[in-house]
Amino acid sequence: MIYLIFSREGYDSIQAALLEQQAALWLNPELLQPEEIAQLTTHGIDVQLLPESVKPGDEKAMLAALDYVEQHGNDPDIMVEYL
Would you place residue 3 in the very low, low, confident or very high pLDDT band (cuts 50, 70, 90)? very high
pLDDT number for residue 53:
97
Contacts 24+ apart (CB under 8 A), 49-55: 50/26, 53/28, 53/29, 54/6, 54/28, 55/6
Q: What is the pLDDT of residues 17-59, one digit of tens each?
A: 999 999 999 999 999 999 999 999 999 999 999 999 999 889 9
**What residue numbers bound the domain in which 20 lies?**
2-80
Q: Could you tell me if 24 and 45 are in contact, meaning their C-beta atoms sit under 8 angstroms apart?
A: yes
Q: How many CB atoms lie within 10 A of CB 51?
A: 11
50: which residues sit within 8 A by CB, 6+ positions away?
26, 27, 28, 29, 65, 68, 69
Number of domains in the chain: 1
